[in-house]
A and B are shown apart, each in its own frame.
Chain A
Amino acid sequence: MTTDSAGRRLAGALHRRPRLRLGLLLAAPLTWLLVAYLGSLAVLFLSAFWTTDPFTSDVVRSWTTDNFRTLLSAPVYRTVALRSLGVAAAVTVIDAVVALPIACYTALVAKPSRRPLLVVALLTPLWASYLVKAYAWRIILANGGPLDWALGPLGLHSPGYGLTAVILVLAYLWLPYMILPIHAGLEQLPANLLDASADLGARTWRTVRSVVLPMVLPSVAAGSVFTFSLSLGDYLAVQIVGGRSQLIGNLIYANVTLNLPLAAALGTVPVVAILLYLLAVRRSGALRSL
């Protein structure tokens, strides 16, 4: 009579208890998220309130808000924070401007059969190492390097190492993260909306301005979350092509061994900036298209 195996009974019991089923399914990933991800963020925030022994540089766990006070009062930190925000904003704007026409081509203009191949082509730079790409740019931008040589006939020369170079390299590095959401957004754009716009008398540019851009704006905002936060968190590009410029990333990096609590306090700056940015983006409805 009892054809019910234990497995079947368990499956039946789970079927009747959807909450238990969901709990079991999510237990492992949630634990990972809480302990490894949010946990480390919490420790970062906590350690920002500690201090160091001035002689040994060992962390001393006594509560103080000195680190944050230093951040707010010392002009150098304010300058660096603002400069970092400026770089992240510039990278985001450049990526949006470059990505829009590219995504328009890959999602709307190119033959449908060729589109997957183009997406793969856009992704290939992500398969190469960050360091290789950054050092490649170091060579390109060098004094008397390929860029100088190429711009020479036009009477221009390479910007050399510095903030401009950092913006250039970061914009190059994060470009695929901007193109992909826009490409996805444009692919979902119903083709007959473009037909309808032309039918109602709009020339191509008018259609782009009145229909394509407003509808793809959430995708641009989604892409900007990547470019903005990745730029704000970056500390390598500035060391490789930044010359003497300082950004918040390499300031943190420089403090990690000497003054971990101060580095942690510095580390909260981009986190807060990105949280504020996410809140602003959320209001535009862009997170729904992520």
Chain B
Amino acid sequence: MAADDGTAVRLTGLRKAFGATEAVAGVDLEVRDGEFFAMLGPSGSGKTTVLRIIAGFEEPTAGTVELAGREVTRLAPFERDVNTVFQDYALFPHMTVEQNIAYGLKIRKVPKAERRERAHAALSSVRLDGYERRRPAQLSGGQRQRVALARALVNRPRVLLLDEPLGALDLKLREEMQVELKQLQRSVGITFVFVTHDQQEALTMSDRIAVFNHGRIEQVGTPAEIYERPATPFVAGFVGTSNLTNGFSVRPEKIRILAEGSPAESEHDEAAGTVAEVVYLGESTRFIVDLDSGGRLTALRQNLDADATEVAAYRGRRVLLRWHRRHNFAVVQST
């Protein structure tokens, strides 16, 4: 057994089969202490199963789970120093907000006065002062989410697991909570392992990301590494828009749209084509261009001073696409 070496979670050769289907097909992963770590992937990619294995709700078919250097593979959830924020929050409906938050402390026989104090502090840290006596049914989705966070954090776990915690919130609230979660993680200094299918969310909040596909990890890296240098076509396509041209790829926002015959620039690649589709996105516009050389590229342009009618006029127009060569990345076909 390894000693505590700054690794919060270490997964080795993890596999999990449900009947004939293998949800997790060999996962090796290390999450460092204090990290905000995202497990990103489409539904059915095994990311939630891995989270549930770390929490102890599922036992792996093969492989081991170590928490802070201690092997916990066969231990029950209540024997592990982790807490979970569930996708639908899983608040106890028959308890008040304060009773929900103090539940873990009560089980660990923390004295009543300290329990109250810590529950209040936890509520305060998620900006819900004064909600102690409410029932979960009397709270909005965003408030329930915060109570679930407070209920987990009040136990000061070594690792906090979050299963799509923002999935049920509307866009506005989700964006607010992304910032808040990140700040909260920094202030408490607890390792967060976060499951999401939303690439934007993963890029915004995480220190590092593991991209899951078919029960395996395709790539682990910082948001910049994942986005700028995706290791496989799947990662390139799942994180951001895939723009595949003869083995190379370039992100849509790196491409400039110029009039045909613009003077050439050094260190740049270019391709001529016809605008096939214009998608107005409000803050920006997506141009889908059929290239003369075959294939298509998507270019994204900020609507700096163009409006919807002006960009719509681009449909069918001849354009020249140009981008700096350093934005090219090779995508190796994975086996």
Contacts and interface: CB of A to CB of B under 8 A. Distances in A.
Contacts of A201: 78, 104, 107-108, 155
B107 A192 contact: no
A198 B90 contact: no
A214 B86 contact: no
5 contacts: A192-B86, A199-B77, A200-B107, A203-B76, A210-B103
Interface residues of A, number: 17
> Which residue among A196, A198, A200, A214 has the maximum number of chain B CB atoms within 10 Å of its CB?
A200
Interface in A193-219: 193, 195-203, 206, 210-211, 214-215
Interface string B91-114: 111100000000110011000000
Contacts of B57: 195, 198-199
Contacts of A197: 92, 103
Interface residues of B, number: 24
The 10 closest A-B pairs by CB, nearest first: A200-B104, A196-B90, A198-B77, A192-B90, A201-B107, A199-B84, A201-B78, A214-B94, A199-B77, A192-B86
Given A192-B88, A206-B107, A210-B103, A198 B78 contact: yes
A112 interface: no
Contacts of A198: 56-57, 76-78
B88 A196 contact: no
A7 interface: no
B141 to A, nearest CB: 16
A200 B88 contact: no
Contacts of B76: 198, 203
A193 B136 CA distance: 13
B151 interface: yes
Interface in B100-138: 103-104, 107-108
A183 to B, nearest CB: 19
Contacts of B155: 200-201
A68 B123 CA distance: 60
B231 interface: no
